[in-house]
Amino acid sequence: MTHSAGVHDSSPLRGPGVPFPPPFLYVAGFLIGLAFERWVVRLQLPSPDARPLFVIVGWLAAALGLTFMGWGLLTFFLARTSIIPVRPASRLVVSGPYRFSRNPMYVGLAALHLGLALLLDAAWPILLLPLVLVSVYLLVIRREERYLASAFGDEYRTYCRRVRRWL
């Protein structure tokens, strides 16, 4: 295994090595989007007539996002493993929402991000969401996947073949 210092070692990693809480990426993307709305150019979501629909979809997306995140957190809690990305996992969690997504908390955060943007009638956070998701993949998920493969080996690789990364 190659560590960031370039030293080859066969011992498993001690944790994913993500130096910040992943929700920060979603919050940063959302706040930058709101700043663009306020100080750069306000982008209206299409058709003011569709506003009631955006509110309904916004509430549904936010509620589903919170539900998926909560279910993921509860599943980790019940499995007695760490959700903090600098700590090692005590076990591979494959139950609950992890049967459908390898990253249900990140999917939930994306749905919450989208829902809040719709509720606030703010287009910039929606436009920035793909950049947030790419950042989550590059800065967080790749590290987590490398760590889990190192820590759980074939069990994790089998799980990856069975369950999608997102949904």
* One pLDDT digit (tens) per residue for the chain, 167 residues: 333 333 334 445 567 778 888 999 999 999 999 999 988 887 777 777 888 899 999 999 999 999 999 999 999 999 988 887 777 888 899 999 999 999 999 999 999 999 999 999 999 999 999 999 999 999 999 999 999 999 999 999 999 999 999 98
What pLDDT does residue 12 have?
A: 53
Structural domain contains residue 12: no
What pLDDT does residue 110 have?
A: 98
DSSP code at position 8: B
Q: Provide the token pair at 143.
A: 């590290």
Alpha-carbon distance of 30 to 113, in angstroms, equals 7
Alpha-carbon distance of 85 to 143, in angstroms, equals 9
- Give the residue numbers spanning the domain of 115: 50-84+93-162
Structural domain contains residue 140: yes
Alpha-carbon distance of 23 to 3, in angstroms, equals 25
- What's the structural domain count of the chain? 1
Structural domain contains residue 7: no
Structural domain contains residue 9: no
Structural domain contains residue 112: yes
How many other CB atoms sit within 10 Å of the CB of residue 25? Answer: 21
What pLDDT does residue 24 have?
A: 96
Q: How many alpha carbons lie under 13 Å from residue 7 in its C-beta half-sphere?
A: 6
Structural domain contains residue 16: no
First-to-last C-alpha distance (Å) of the chain: 29
Structural domain contains residue 18: no
Structural domain contains residue 113: yes
Q: Answer whether 13's CB lies under 8 Å from 1's CB.
A: yes
Q: Please name the residue that has the structure tokens 């994790």.
A: 156
